[in-house]
Amino acid sequence: MDKAYCHLSQTASRKGLATSSKISQTFIATGYTNWNDANRGFMKHEQSDCHLESVQRLNLDKSNQDIGIAITEQVSDLREKNRSCLLTIISNLKFLGRQGLPLRGRADDSDSNFNQLNVLRCEDNPNFREWLVRKSEKFTSPEIQNELLKIMSQIVVRGISEDIRNSLYFALMADETTDVSNREQLVVCIRWIDEQLEVHEDFIGLYQIDDTCAKTISDSIQDVLLRLNISLSQCRGQTYDGASAMSGPKSGVQKRIKDEQPKALYNHCHGHRLNLACSDSIKMVKIMCDNLDTTQEITKLVKKSPQRDTQLEKIRKAALFESEDDYMYAGIHVLCPTRWTVKADAMIAIINNYESLKKLWEWSLDKLKDTDMKARVRGVEAHMQRFDFFFGLSLGECLLRNADNLSAGLQTKDLSAAEEKVMALKTVKAISLMRNDDAYTLFWQKVTKFAQLKGVDEPCLPRQKRMPARLETGNAEPHYHETPEGYFGRFI
């Protein structure tokens, strides 16, 4: 068929949109066949009222859709944009909460982590930028932040509680502490094992309590389990510290929980027990007790003074440059009495920085004007010059290194009771081996060699003292050590 038709004119005519009196039947029904003058004929039809009206009516027909459909599509698009912006806000809160970062500042909220993260996310999401410039309903207020965080925490805790219920059995771990606002807080954790025999220790929450009596704590623990829909009948163990309110055999928390569930066996925290055993053992040896006190005084003098800490760093770098060594030992560690795995690190840090510390004391005495502070510096300087301090420092590092390693191992969540016992026995064996004559001789030679290199006084025997006659119970002569090696060996 050698004919030409106008598609737009035909479509408008078929839909009844073409109402012009000059409808061209040639391009609609009969077809155009004058190919000798085709260019002029096509241009004439393109400019005709029939063609122009057809184009206009077809475009208008596309734009004039149902008003309900148009509104629905607009609302749907707006809802999708709002949902995307709200999810962005939630993801920002989730990130800050997961990393333990504060959301807001004290004064200027515009510089807070939350707002700055929102500004950063605007670079990837133009719709989010428009959302933030709105004057209201941005869902960025502190109240909304707290509510969203609470919802997220509830989702996490509910997931944990469901896993615990599916695992059938669990063990309780709880401790009471006082926060910086002087409020009593109860920490509750639950230990459980999944189907793959993987051990989980999940933090459930911090709960403010009115007092630290056993009844209040036990009631709080049972209330937490009730809120999580976890039955106490599934409890097979409970672990707390040795405080009387927690471990009391008559009315302690463990006794009250055991009255409700006799199968919930109580176990004194092994980390606490190790710390108590080490503390009591050290207190019985005067040289070790005095040594820890001096070590703590040294760390306080350095770490609680930015000026002395900076000067010590300069001295250490200068010593490293003079020795042309590529390795610089770690700086001074704080000897924290409430942490169990840092005592050996604090002692070895003092040994490695012995010469630098002695130079620091000389510098401090020249700069200080406070007589009390000068007396403290002179005291630790005199102690560090004595051999008994250096010996106690070296001995304490060897002994407490084993204890610190055991303490770190006991804190491993997937460690079984049998493995804990093996680790404890190996630690006792390692410490016991230090008490034989050959091991002590090697230790003595090492300590005296290092003491000489660090400019410490030579080992000497203390002044011989006789026991008061009123305390003597026999006629035997008092025993005196003949050599410093024998005298210091009695501390091992």
Here the tokens at position 159 are 């997931």
Q: Is residue 491 part of a domain?
A: no
Q: What is the pLDDT of residues 39-94, one digit of tens each?
A: 887 788 787 878 777 777 777 655 555 555 555 677 788 888 889 899 999 999 99
Q: How do beta strands 235-240 and 265-268 pair? A: parallel
* 3-class DSSP assignment, residue 107: coil
The span from the CA of 144 to the CA of 104, in Å, is: 13
What pLDDT was estimated at residue 442? 92
By mean pLDDT, which of 44-58, 146-160, 272-286, 423-437 is the weakest? Answer: 44-58
Q: Does the structure show a pLDDT above 90 at 172?
A: yes
Q: Is residue 325 part of a domain?
A: yes
Residues 177 and 163 in one domain: yes
Residues 466 and 338 in one domain: yes
Residues 302 and 443 in one domain: yes
The residue among 97, 93, 141 whose CA lies nearest residue 117 is: 93
Q: Alpha carbon of 36 to those of 40, 43, 48: distances in Å?
A: 9, 14, 20
What pLDDT was estimated at residue 367? 87
Domain span at residue 242?
A: 150-268
The residue among 214, 231, 233 whose CA lies nearest residue 174 is: 214
Q: Is residue 478 part of a domain?
A: no
Residue 109: CA count within 13 A, CB half-sphere = 5
The span from the CA of 483 to the CA of 492, in Å, is: 16
What pLDDT was estimated at residue 377? 92
How many other CB atoms are there within 10 angstroms of residue 73's CB atom? 11
The residue among 404, 363, 360 whose CA lies nearest residue 384 is: 360
Q: How do beta strands 235-240 and 170-178 pair? A: parallel
The span from the CA of 452 to the CA of 430, in Å, is: 27
CATH number for the domain spanning 197: value is 3.30.420.40
Q: In what order do the strands lie in the sheet with 170-178?
A: 199-208, 184-193, 170-178, 235-240, 265-268
How far from chain centre, in Å, is Cα 344?
Answer: 23
Q: What is the pLDDT of residues 388-405, one digit of tens each?
A: 999 999 998 888 899 888
Number of domains in the chain: 4
Q: Is residue 334 part of a domain?
A: yes
Residues 357 and 223 in one domain: no
Q: Is residue 282 part of a domain?
A: yes
Residues 432 and 336 in one domain: yes
Q: Does the structure show a pLDDT above 80 at 290?
A: yes
pTM metric for this prediction:
0.70
Residues 264 and 294 in one domain: no
Confidence of residue 19 (pLDDT cuts 50, 70, 90): low
Residues 443 and 311 in one domain: yes
Residues 389 and 413 in one domain: yes
Q: Is residue 1 part of a domain?
A: no
The span from the CA of 409 to the CA of 400, in Å, is: 14
Residues 427 and 402 in one domain: yes
Domain boundary among 268, 297, 312: 268
Confidence of residue 368 (pLDDT cuts 50, 70, 90): confident
The residue among 103, 2, 19, 98 whose CA lies nearest residue 57 is: 19
Q: How do beta strands 235-240 and 199-208 pair? A: unpaired
The residue among 341, 345, 354 whose CA lies nearest residue 450 is: 354
Residues 284 and 257 in one domain: no
Residues 42 and 98 in one domain: no
Residues 128 and 175 in one domain: no
What pLDDT was estimated at residue 71? 56
Q: Does the structure show a pLDDT above 60 at 148?
A: yes
The residue among 372, 391, 366 whose CA lies nearest residue 460 is: 391
What pLDDT was estimated at residue 52? 78
